[in-house]
Amino acid sequence: MGSTGPCAVGPYELLVRLATGGMAEVFIAHRTGEGAGGGEPDGEGAGGGEPDGEGAGGGEGASGAAGSGEPLVAVKRIRADLRSEPGYAAMLFDEARIASRIASPHFVPVLDCGLDGGGAPYIVMELVVGVTLKHLTRPPDTLDVGDALDLIAQAAEGLHAAHEARDSSGELLQVIHRDMSPSNILVGVDGRARICDLGLAYALRRTTRTKTGTVKGKLSYLSPEQAHARPLDRRSDVFSLGVVAWEAVAGRRLFVGSSMLSILHAVLEREVPPLSSEREGVGAAVSAVVARALERDRDARWPTAADFARALRAAAEREGHAPSRGRVGARVDAILPEPLKPLAPSSGPGGPRATPEIIAALRSMHAAGVTGEADESGALAPRRPSRT
């Protein structure tokens, strides 16, 4: 466990640590009204970490305005051992600046950013009470076809909003996510999908840059042009989301291999089976829509994520695959990790509310050592039993 004393960044009390990993740690937090105020994200960058281990909770101090009824939030900050590296701070603020320009119910918004008392950067995001699509579709579980297609269509709409983001002068930022995968799609108890984690995103005036020829993203979800380290446009993200769509419907991974080279070979060369051969009840219409997203020639793909979303919805309706957000929400609720369970009843637009009872419950969980299992997105994932 971490420190049991007061733990706050700016005006936010950190209640329970959600995850920690390669660059960042993420906490459930609430605004106390005390401490230095954060800054307003106002530019066009991106950044962030990929939490990959377990973390411990925040503190019990920073009493402030507990129970004010304001939404609980997710606070993301650089790991303590990396805070002296200026590049990481720039990456985190880049993430805040890009996200602040994306307006969509299917993209996790950044609400605030700033420096804590020690000069370490942090960003504040809406807290999603849910799990990642990765955990929602973990084999042997499969989603109803209609639910899977609806979640992908929602994600495509959020992705399109990112692609269409503009700066204060109205100039297109040319955002490319570059890391579309099931780990970066959050699904809430409201049955709604939201894109998250702009840690590897490209934008026109991002302050931190990727070295030329460097491949970014998870190998199994790379577009062919990413695998070749070629210049990208929004159609690269369409391909990656096409992989996610294929897997969500088929219930298995698409591009797998025993090594990095074998995975890249699969991305570039392996034949993609039609979904109609993978899942009973899936017809030619749905298969064709997903197959077009997975065209290796990007000129043959859907030109935008919005086109992909519209085509998915039309094909699903044509084949009679009716979605149910209530059904999805119930499934999410059933697998919520322990720290999020008390938040589900109060979860609504803007996130769960910071009532005195909920704050006390989260502090008690921290004191008892309850944490979430880390996930690449920085979101809580269901805890699995320890192996003996």
Cβ 372 vs Cβ 50: under 8 Å: no
Give me the helices (H) in 206-304, please. Answer: 224-227, 234-250, 260-269, 284-293
Element (H, E) at 19: strand 12-21
Q: Name 160's Cβ contacts closer than 8 Å, sequence gap at least 6.
A: 104, 304, 305, 306, 309
* Contact in structure between 98 and 200 (CB atoms under 8 Å): no
CA gap 67, 79 in Å, rounded: 28
How far apart are the C-alpha atoms of 196 and 134, rounded to whole Å? 13
For residues 359 and 356, what is the distance between their CA atoms, to the nearest angstrom? 5
Strands 121-126 and 73-78: antiparallel
Q: Which of 13, 43, 125 is nearest to 377 (CA)?
A: 125
Three-class DSSP category at 65: coil
DSSP structural state of residue 52: E
350 burial type by CB count under 10 A (0-12 exposed, 13-18 middle, 19+ buried): middle
Asked if 38 contacts 32 with a C-beta cutoff of 8 angstroms, the reply is no
From residue 306, how far is each of 133, 146, 234, 287 by CA, in Å? 20, 18, 11, 18
Tokens found for residue 194: 């939201």
Whether 382 and 135 have beta carbons less than 8 Å apart is answered as yes
Q: Tokens in use for 385?
A: 């039993």
Place of tokens 């017809």: 283
Name the catalytic one among 112, 116, 179, 333: 179
26, two tokens: 């993420």
Tell me if residue 94 falls in helix, strand or coil.
helix
52 in active site:
no
Residue 231 has phi, psi (to 5 degrees) of: -60, 145
Token pair listed for 148: 């899977």
Give the active site residues.
179
